[in-house]
Amino acid sequence: MGASNNVKYAYIVARVRAMKSKLIPRDMYPKILNMEIPEITRFIEESEYKKDVDELAKKYKGTELIEHAMSQNLALTYRKLIEVSQNEANFLITEYLRFWDIWNIKTMLRGKFSGASEEDIVEHLVAAGQLSYRDLMELVKIGTVEGVIGALSRTPYYPALEGYKGDLAEIENALDKWYYAKRIEAAIQTGNKLFLKFLRTEIDLKNLKMLFRMKRAGMEREDIMKLIIPGGMELKEADLNRLASLPLNEFVRALEEFSYWNAIADVSSDLSSLINIEIRLDKYGLEYAARISYYYPLSILPILDYILSKKIEVDNLRIIVHGKETKLPEEIIKAHLVM
């Protein structure tokens, strides 16, 4: 990366470093695990989430308050990144955060499909993409899947949605493919090879999770390949075709050829649940982002590292709170955390 690009990223990276220093340290999670929900609420209120908790405390209580405060804080944090960035950094951050539009559309469609209440749907929305909070509140009032899709007809997401014929999984996969294809286009358009490499690694991790789920479900190669997201870093089309055709045990052994194997090797023998493998792959993604951002400190990478780290923080807090609420044993809650 040239000197001019280094200068372009210096300001936003400095802001991001300050923001990252306020994330909850990893060694704090065992302490949070020992807290009850009222204590967790107090802890969150004394942290970076204070303003959000105070603002929403009149409307929500208990776990609902924590859930809404974290969603609001996450959205505002990501929007702040867009506001304080310029030029290429602003463009790439905006493009990457379209992930939340995809998340929100999926959440909306699932909610409408299953007959969930508007309140239940809103609880899981994060207004951090290009669809504003007002846009999302208008969409959530629409009663059907078809109605929501129709309301999105003038957005860039519509080409992935217009083929809906009752199969939500097919539409969700089309949205994922659209997202990564367009983000790769953005990386190529700017010539930012670091952003491209990050995206392609993310695709590999997503495809690996999908392969494990589909192989465990006994799906055939042709059906698996329809769902695979193209454009990965290590897992090329020929590799994916071969992996998709193997029986489950052989598929697992074949993964030893790839760098991701080290992340899952010691949990790969127990396929009774895929949660351990998925958590390890998430952890790999987090550590990968931290590692490469260290080598390229004045680039898009420290920003992407922070975006991931912030999401993981919110995910971890949600898992702890939901686990406490449903009285899950501590070891089960801990197993679901990415630390």
122-171 pLDDT, tens digit per residue, is 999 999 999 999 999 999 999 999 999 999 999 999 999 999 999 999 99
Parent domain of 236: 193-299
Residue that the structure tokens 């809906």 belong to: 164
Return the ∠ at Cα 323 (arms to 283 and 217), rounded to 5°.
60
**pLDDT of 228 strictly over 90:** yes
Task: Decide if 143 is inside a domain.
Answer: no
Is 104 a member of any domain? no
pLDDT digits 0-9 by tens, 37-92: 999 999 999 999 999 999 999 999 989 999 999 999 999 999 999 999 999 999 99
Q: In the predicted model, is pLDDT for residue 115 greater than 90?
A: yes
pLDDT digits (tens, 9 = 90+) for 17-43: 999 999 999 999 999 999 999 999 999
Instruction: Compute how many other C-beta atoms are within 10 angstroms of the C-beta atom of residue 93.
Output: 20
Specify if 175 maps to a domain. no
Of 40, 93, 111, 54, nearest to 316 by C-alpha is 40
Position 97 in a domain: no
* Cα-based angle 30, 36, 37 (whole degrees, multiple of 5): 110
Examine residue 235 and state whether it is found in any structural domain, yes or no: yes
Contact 233, 202 (CB under 8 A): no
Q: What is the mean pLDDT of the chain?
A: 95
Residue 8 pLDDT: 84
pLDDT of residue 339: 86
Would you say residue 6 has pLDDT above 80? Answer: no
Q: How far apart are CA 241 and CA 106, in angstroms?
A: 27
**Quick check: is 255 in a domain?**
yes
Cα gap 228→39, rounded to integer Å: 43
Distance, CA of 159 to CA of 15 (rounded, Å): 36
Q: What percent of the chain has pLDDT over 70?
A: 99
If one counts the domains in the chain, the total is 1
Q: Is 168 a domain residue?
A: no
Q: Indicate whether 265 belongs to any domain.
A: yes
Whole-prediction pTM value? Answer: 0.95
Can you tell me which residue has the tokens 């060694």? 27
